[in-house]
Amino acid sequence: MSAVGLEATRAARLDSRRARARAVLGQLVRSASFDVGAIIVVFWVVDAIFWHVMVPQDPQALNPLAALQGPTAAHWFGTDWLGRDVFSRTLAGATSVLEIAPLATLLGIAGGTIVGLVTGYYGGAVDALVMRLVDAFLAFPLVIIAVLVLALLGTSEITVIVLIGVIFTPVVSRTVRSVVLVERDKEYVASARLRGEGDWYIMTAEILPNVTTPIIVESTVRLGYAIFTAATLSFLSLGIQQPSPDWGLTISLGRQYLQIAPWIVLFPAIALATLVVAVNLVADSVQQVMAR
Amino acid sequence: MLSYLSKRLLLALVTLVLVSFIVFLASDVLPGDVGRTILGNFATQAQVHALDVKLGLDHPLLDRYWIWVSHFVRGDWGTSYTLQVPVFGLVMRHFLNSLILGAFALVLIVPVSIAFGVLAATHHDRPIDKAISVTGMSMLALPEFVTGIVVLVLFSIVVHWFPVSSSVPVFSLPSIVRNLFLPALPEMVLIFGYVSRMARAGTVEALNAGYTRTAVLKGLPRHRIMLRHVLRNSLLPTITVVAVQAGYLVGSLIVVETIFNYPGIGNLIYTAATNHDQPVLQAAVFLVALVYTVTNLMADMLYAVFNPRVRLAS
């Protein structure tokens, strides 16, 4: 094929990909569950970035005289055991989880994509070995690995991000590998090989663009799990530490006041519930639209 | 069939060996100075060293792995660092408690979940299906500690029906319900999400399959088509999920058992991890992975037994 012809097919391929992306976006916007989920997610993302200007009071301001008060006009969601404003803390509490979860997801997706591309493309002994390792790794419930590592290593925001990313890598790699296995036997890969392209070029420039759909679907699903895991680790006091207004941590600490001041844990719990359900609504719609 | 099963069995064995190695590495390398952790900051270096020798920590890594595995297989799981009791009995007792809790949740919720999943599938894309699907998805997405807290506020604080902290029931129905119902609820929420979704997906697929259309065109009665043609095929994936879920439930047990203070394996793993109780941690985590691998294996085998295509393909 001449160089001009190659450019033309490449441009055509890019055009058809853009058209498809536009079609997918259109379908998504028309899906009610996507819209509801996306609005809630956008709300929490905006809140996570701009909570400084949204909170009525400083979320860290102590006021022991006003401790454990129920919801009033001054404190919409009541106050906690140190007299801090629960409404302000609930708004400020979105930041930590929305920092950790996307970064961890990105890390897991990147790692899993590389492992999946390499094992799927080369196959053979390396593939068999890596997949057995993945099997062995997946035999542990994710939270148990996290508890094990964090309790023994100690915790920090970076450790939590890296850990969740590493835990996700085998899961993602399995998904990516299964689609790469299908793609690698197609004609365009054979023709790239005949043109004399290197393995790395074929993997990244030829196969990767054709497996983006399952990777995008996997990312949205993983993001939900990442929020879930990060919050659970905070709840087990193995994640974000005090005095952060993080939701999981607040629920863990506020538990002992459950009988006298349930609002301390109830509002962060509701906030977290809306976020995870919203992310899953989005993930579910993306999965349905893209699978078509 | 036999070759498929033996191949699958062999794979599971390889996985188990790797699993045991991962557990050993994680719990052996990560804690750092074990002698120091046990004796605390005031012990002399000589005392710490003597304890390390006594615990066999001065041997090379592979030797220690071999010693651990060969003892583990014989049921000699060592002594807990913090509780000073044999690990085998400790872990088994907690494991049994979790099993009771898990079985209670599964027995109550699996039939309900399958019923709702099939109901959603037979009303595919209608409001009732949308409602069931979104509810199931939300239940799946919620962290156990959120559902656990809500359940606790509702049933122990708003209405005083159940105790805030649960113990293992004695063998009578009121005791079982009283102690297990609350901690089982967050588990049930989770299982409902998974199982109803799988049952729905499987049933939708079977309803659209060619063999179902043939049965309809043959004029077979509807209940017969549902039982013999649809459900028989659609519930296969559900069985697999229920089995795999049984292993994964253990992960969620960490949170649930901590909230309700229930003496199960999740609670044990959490305390052992925070106390750096290495023998307990190794044994408990390996047991969990073992259970997961075995349930997974059984799910695959059941699948093969029920599905002639899997059985004959190999």
CB contact under 8 A, A276 and B142: yes
pLDDT reported for residue B132? 93
- Which of A135, A138, A140, A260 to mutate against chain B (most B CBs within 10 Å)? A140
Over range A184-192, report the average pLDDT: 91
Cβ-based contacts of B255 with chain A (< 8 Å): 143, 232, 235-236
Q: Is A140 left (phi over 0), alpha (psi -120 to 50) or beta?
A: beta
CB contact under 8 A, B141 and A276: yes
Out of A151, A235, A280, the one facing B273 most closely (by C-beta) is A151
Question: Is B245 near chain A, with CB under 8 Å?
Answer: no
> In three state form, how does the secondary structure of B51-79 look?
HHHHCCCCCCHHHHHHHHHHHHHCCCCCE
User: Is CATH 3.40.640.10 what the domain over A2-291 is classified as, yes or no?
Assistant: no
Three-class SS state of B86 = strand
Please give the span between the terminal C-alpha atoms of chain A, in angstroms, as a whole number.
32
- Please give the residue that has the higher pLDDT: either B2 or A172: A172
Of A195, A186, A208, A193, the C-alpha closest to A3 is A195
Out of A147, A232, A281, the one facing B269 most closely (by C-beta) is A147
Q: Which tens digits make up the pLDDT trace of A103-155?
A: 999 999 999 999 999 999 998 888 988 888 888 888 788 888 888 888 777 88
Tokens at A169, concatenated: 């890598």
CB contact under 8 A, A141 and B250: yes
Cβ-based contacts of B296 with chain A (< 8 Å): 139
Each domain of chain B, given as residue ranges in start order, spans 88-270
Q: B282 to chain A: nearest residue by CA? A: A148
Out of B15, B153, B273, the one facing A136 most closely (by C-beta) is B15
pLDDT reported for residue A206? 92
CB contact under 8 A, A258 and B149: yes
Please state, as a whole number, how many other Cβ atoms lie within 10 Å of the Cβ of residue B173: 8
Q: Contact at 8 Å (CB) between B192 and B166?
A: no
Three-class SS state of A85 = strand
Of B110, B252, B260, the C-alpha closest to B187 is B252
Distance from CA of A83 to the nearest CA of B (A): 21
For the whole prediction, is pTM greater than 0.95? Answer: no
Between chain A and chain B, the number of residue pairs with CB atoms below 8 A apart is: 129
**How far is it, in rounded angstroms, from Cα A41 to Cα A43?**
5
CB contact under 8 A, A140 and B289: yes
Q: Which tens digits make up the pLDDT trace of B168-217?
A: 666 677 777 888 888 999 999 988 988 898 889 889 888 888 888 888 88
Q: Is A68 left (phi over 0), alpha (psi -120 to 50) or beta?
A: left
Q: So what's the ipTM on this one?
A: 0.82
* Partners of B86 in beta bridges: B79
Q: Which tens digits make up the pLDDT trace of A16-46?
A: 778 878 888 888 888 888 999 999 999 999 9
Q: Contact at 8 Å (CB) between A60 and A107?
A: no
> What percent of chain A has pLDDT above 90?
61
Q: Contact at 8 Å (CB) between A277 and B141?
A: yes
CB contact under 8 A, B276 and A151: yes
pLDDT reported for residue A19? 83
Burial A88-113 (b: 16+ CB within 10 A, else e): bbbbbbbbbbbbbbbbbbbbbbebbb
Distance from CA of A269 to the nearest CA of B (A): 6
Question: Chain A 208-247, CB below 8 Å of chain B: which residues?
Answer: 224, 228, 231-232, 235-236
Question: Chain B 142-161, CB below 8 Å of chain A: which residues?
Answer: 142-146, 149-150, 152-153, 157
How many secondary structure helices (H) and strands (E) does chain A include?
A: 12, 0
CB contact under 8 A, B137 and A262: no
pLDDT reported for residue B299? 75
Query: What is the CATH number assigned to the segment(s) B88-270?
Result: 1.10.3720.10
Strands (E), chain B: none
Write down the mean pLDDT value for chain A.
Answer: 90
Out of A147, A152, A272, the one facing B143 most closely (by C-beta) is A272
Q: Which tens digits make up the pLDDT trace of A213-243?
A: 899 999 999 999 999 999 999 999 888 888 8
CB contact under 8 A, A280 and B269: no
Out of B138, B143, B281, the one facing A148 most closely (by C-beta) is B281
Give yes or no for residue A4 having a pLDDT over 90.
Answer: no
Instruction: Say which range, A7-11, A111-115, A273-277, B168-172, has the weakest mean pLDDT.
Output: B168-172
Q: Is A240 left (phi over 0), alpha (psi -120 to 50) or beta?
A: beta
Out of A149, A152, A280, the one facing B276 most closely (by C-beta) is A152
pLDDT < 70 positions in chain B:
1, 29-38, 164-171, 237, 240-241, 243-248, 306-314
The letter for the amino acid at B160 is H
Over range A194-216, report the average pLDDT: 92
Out of B31, B149, B292, the one facing A251 most closely (by C-beta) is B149
